[in-house]
Structures are given as C-alpha cells and as structure tokens.
C-alpha cells in the first residue's frame, strides 16, 4: 500500500489558495474519492509522487505525452529553443515549420492558426464558422467535450433536438439557446435536425471518436453520413481532434475513417507537453480570420517558440517508421489481457479501444455507444477499481468519463504488471461485493 502523507499535506495547502486545490477540476479525484496525488517528476511511462511512490502512467497529462515523459529529443529541442529566448510576440520560423508539418499531415488543413489551449482552438473555430457562414446555431453531441467555452458548456434541452440549456452556471440562456445538443451516433436524428435548422446552422462540432465520456466509437457510417448531410446542407463540419489528433493515427481520426472535415481542432500532442492548441481547414475559410478577414482572433503566446519546438520534435519522432503499429500492438496486448481478467473474475465490464486510447466501462451492457450507455455504468465500482489500481502502482484517469492513454515507452513488463494489478483489484473488490 502506498503512503500519501506529503500529497495530503500539499493538497490541504493547495486548497487554501487554489479553488478546490487544483487548476483543473478532474484532477481533484471527486469522481473516485480520496485526495489527488501531487506529482514530483516523471520519466518514460512512469510518474512519481511527492512521497516517492512510482506509478505506471496511463494519463500522460491527458494525452500529450505520447512519447513518454521527459523524452530526450523533446528536452533537447526545448532547451535549444529556450536559450534563444522564450517568447517574442512576433512571428518565428518555428511556427511556420509546425504549421507546414500539420498541413502536410492533414490534407483537410490548408491553413492553421496556433493558440494556447484546446479550448481556445475550439472557441475560435466556432467563431470562425459563424463568421464564415453568417449563421448562429451550432450542433454538438452529448458527452463530447470541447473545452470550457460558453457555447459548448450546453446540454440537451427538454427535447434532445431542441435548443440547449447551460451545463454550467455563468453560461447565459442566450448563449445556450444557440446550441443544439444531440445524442452521439444517432445519425437519423442528426440528419433530421440539420435539414430542419439548415437556414441558421453554422456548424456541427464533434470529437470524431469521443474520449470525454470515456472512449466511444462512431457506429459504421456515422461519420460518413454526417459529412454527407453537412455538405448537402452547406453546414460546416468541425472535427475536434484535440485527443485523437496524432493519437489514433498520425493523421488523426480523419485519416482512420477517411472523412475530411471543413475545420479541425488540435492540441495536446502538438505541444509535446507545453501549452498549445490549433485550428485549421480550407484556406477560403481560414482567410476570414483577422488580420486579413473580419473574424477576430488573437493570443499573446500563440505559436510560442518553446511550445512549438516541443511540438515539432514530438511530431517528427511520431513520423518515424512503425510508431503507430508498435503503439497499437502494445495497447492490444494490454486490452486483451484486461478483457481476459474481466471474464476470468466474472465481472461486468466492457472495454472500448481505438489505437492507444481505451476506457474500461463498469457496465452490464455489452456495448457502450453513447452518453446514455455510459450513464448506466456503476460509478461506485469504477471508484473502487481506480483506487485498487492506484494502490498497485497503476495511475489511471480518475473518472469513468475519461480515456486512458498508452505511450511509446510502455513496455510488455508494464503491460503485464497492469494486467496483474487488474486481477488483484477485481478479486479483492469481488470479495467486498
Ligand atoms: P484544453 O483547453 O484543456 O487544452 O483542451 C480542451 C479540450 C478540447 N477538446 C477535447 C476533445 C478535449 O479532450 C479537451 C480537454 N481534455 C481534457 C481531458 N478530457 C483535459 C483535462 C482537463 O480538463 O484537465
């Protein structure tokens, strides 16, 4: 059993000066109970807390650390960049290099604008879609998360296909009524609402493979039919690939599923662990952005040379041969092993996985295809599972509604240890049930 004395001490200090003791809510372990670990350092697939405990890390800073922590090449690129200055508020060659890399890897992206977070990128993409089309309404899907932008903190209203209601205090009814929230994977309902609302509908935004309700896979043809109905009705399609971009494939979900959106939102991996976001698409749309166009968008640290250097180094390493085949293989070994334990210990759970992204759902359903399905999960069981794995030195996403990530540094030894810990955890949890 780990001792967490220092984490507890730091957490009580933190709560005196930081709301909830954290700078982002999910870190507070509200969904799983207990108190958050304070992290001292990380290397490769491992993370170390302030009490000296070591964990195999499947959070990887919520996705960016796909090469593992403290990657030598990334650190070298960052230190080289820092010696030349850390921020200029002026154009640099590195920004152009990253923009070129993104446009080469994502055929749907002819031009891209760099910002400092995924939220900022999604927010800017929505404003651009509204500015380019001259229309106001947007469609999102229940369970998809695109950052904490007001227009996207909206849940389904009384009738799923009517206008939204705020999902957070501080978001006005006026903002929420311009957002329609639909059930993910329900293509018939989506086609019907797009056709009905087309006159004042700017865009549809989605995670092509949602990871913010846990990993949920698009049903066959959902993305292709969504592309077709948005094109037919002149509605922009925005893929939020902040998680899936450079994760499920170098070219993201749009490469895996062969669907080209009008705009793409990126983040996380393209910053290699530094603050970053990006949004891009067809030049005729992107050219509507200031200073050339009438849609204003700006940022002090946008395209920051240090963050951009980390991103370029990360992407170049990801472009090396067989990176994604290896990631897919090791994640496949893990998920196969975990699935066997679920059967062996006679538990009710199902694992959704794509590439090196996976979620274990504690549900009696055989398939998890939308937010409704996820809401059927046994959250108490999930919390016990999370705490049990943590006690065995396995650091997972502290919420049933999140994804877990594998890096190029996770080894077969790590995978076997994780599977072993899973069996011990489920068996012990079985005893208490
Ligand atoms: P950021 O503003 O947190 O950089 O990105 C927002 C965002 C946008 N789009 C998608 C698909 C995302 O997953 C995110 C942020 N992801 C969460 C984890 N589910 C970040 C962790 C957190 O909120 O602390």
The 10s digit of each residue's pLDDT in 58-82 is 999 999 999 999 999 999 999 999 9
Distance of CA 133 from the midpoint of ligand 1 (Å): 26
pTM to 2 decimal places: 0.97
Distance of CA 146 from the midpoint of ligand 1 (Å): 7
Helix (H) or strand (E) holding 87: none
Say which residues have a Cβ less than 8 Å from residue 13's Cβ, sequence separation at least 6.
Answer: none
Any idea which residue has 């997972």 for tokens?
396
Rounded-to-10 torsion of CA 120, 96, 204, 318: -100
Query: For residues 128 and 279, is the Cβ–Cβ distance under 8 A?
Result: yes
User: Residues of the chain with pLDDT > 90: what percent?
Assistant: 95
Reported as a single tens digit per residue, the pLDDT across 13-60 is 999 999 999 999 999 999 999 999 999 999 999 999 999 999 999 999
Residue to probe by mutation, ligand 1, list 117, 205, 243, most atoms within 8 Å of CB:
243
Per residue of the chain (433 residues), what is the pLDDT tens digit?
Answer: 568 999 999 999 999 999 999 999 999 999 999 999 999 999 999 999 999 999 999 999 999 999 999 999 999 999 999 999 999 999 999 999 999 999 999 999 999 999 999 999 999 999 999 999 999 999 999 999 999 999 999 987 666 566 678 899 999 999 999 999 999 999 999 999 999 999 999 999 999 999 999 999 999 999 999 999 999 999 999 999 999 999 999 999 999 999 999 999 999 999 999 999 999 999 999 999 999 999 999 999 999 999 999 999 999 999 999 999 999 999 999 999 999 999 999 999 999 999 999 999 999 999 999 999 999 999 999 999 999 999 999 999 999 999 999 999 999 999 999 999 999 999 985 544 3
Residue to probe by mutation, ligand 1, list 24, 125, 146, most atoms within 8 Å of CB:
146
Nearest Cα neighbor of 280 from 254, 312, 247 is 254
Nearest Cα neighbor of 138 from 108, 176, 172, 170 is 176
Residues having CB closer than 6 A to ligand 1 are 24, 26, 62, 117-119, 122, 145-147, 207, 212, 240, 242-243, 267, 277, 402
Residue 157: C-alpha distances to residues 181, 211, 328 (Å): 8, 23, 39
Kindly give the number of the ligand 1 atom that is closest to the alpha carbon of 403.
19
């Amino acid at each position: 059993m780990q001792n967490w004395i220092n984490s507890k001490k730091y957490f009580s200090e933190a709560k005196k000066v930081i709301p909830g003791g954290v700078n982002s809510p999910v870190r507070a372990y509200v969904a799983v109970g207990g108190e958050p670990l304070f992290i001292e350092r990380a290397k490769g697939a491992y993370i170390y807390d302030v009490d000296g405990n070591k964990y195999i890390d499947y959070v990887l800073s919520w996705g960016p650390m796909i090469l593992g922590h403290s990657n030598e090449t990334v650190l070298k690129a960052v230190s080289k960049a820092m010696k030349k200055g850390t921020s200029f508020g002026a154009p640099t060659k590195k920004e152009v290099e990253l923009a070129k890399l993104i446009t080469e890897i994502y055929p749907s992206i002819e031009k891209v604008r760099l910002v400092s977070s995924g939220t900022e990128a999604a927010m800017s993409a929505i404003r651009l879609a509204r500015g380019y089309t001259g229309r106001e309404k947007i469609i999102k899907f229940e369970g998809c998360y695109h950052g904490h932008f007001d227009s996207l903190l909206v849940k389904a209203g009384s009738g799923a296909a009517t206008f939204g209601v705020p999902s957070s205090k501080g978001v006005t009814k006026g903002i929420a009524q311009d957002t329609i929230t639909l059930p993910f994977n329900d293509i018939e309902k989506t086609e019907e609402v797009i056709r009905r609302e087309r006159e004042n509908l700017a865009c549809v935004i989605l995670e092509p493979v949602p990871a913010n309700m846990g990993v949920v896979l698009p049903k066959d043809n959902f993305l292709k039919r969504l592309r077709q109905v948005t094109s037919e009705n002149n509605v922009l399609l925005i893929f939020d690939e902040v998680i899936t971009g450079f994760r499920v494939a170098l070219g993201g979900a749009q490469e895996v599923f062969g669907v080209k959106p009008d705009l793409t939102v990126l983040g996380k991996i393209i910053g290699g662990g530094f603050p970053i976001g990006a949004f891009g698409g067809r030049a005729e749309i992107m050219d509507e952005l200031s200073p050339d166009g009438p849609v204003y968008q700006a940022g002090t640290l946008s395209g920051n040379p240090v963050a951009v250097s980390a991103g370029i180094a990360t992407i170049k390493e990801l472009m090396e041969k067989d990176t994604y085949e290896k990631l897919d293989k090791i994640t496949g070994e893990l998920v196969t092993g975990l699935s066997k334990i679920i059967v062996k210990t006679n538990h009710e759970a199902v694992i959704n996985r794509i590439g090196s992204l996976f979620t274990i759902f504690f549900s009696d359903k055989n398939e998890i295809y939308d937010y409704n399905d996820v809401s059927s999960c046994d959250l108490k069981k999930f919390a016990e599972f999370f705490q049990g794995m943590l006690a065995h030195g396995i650091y997972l996403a502290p919420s049933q509604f999140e994804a877990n990530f594998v890096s190029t540094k996770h080894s077969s030894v790590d995978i076997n240890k994780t599977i072993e810990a899973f069996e011990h955890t489920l068996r012990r949890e079985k005893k208490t049930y």
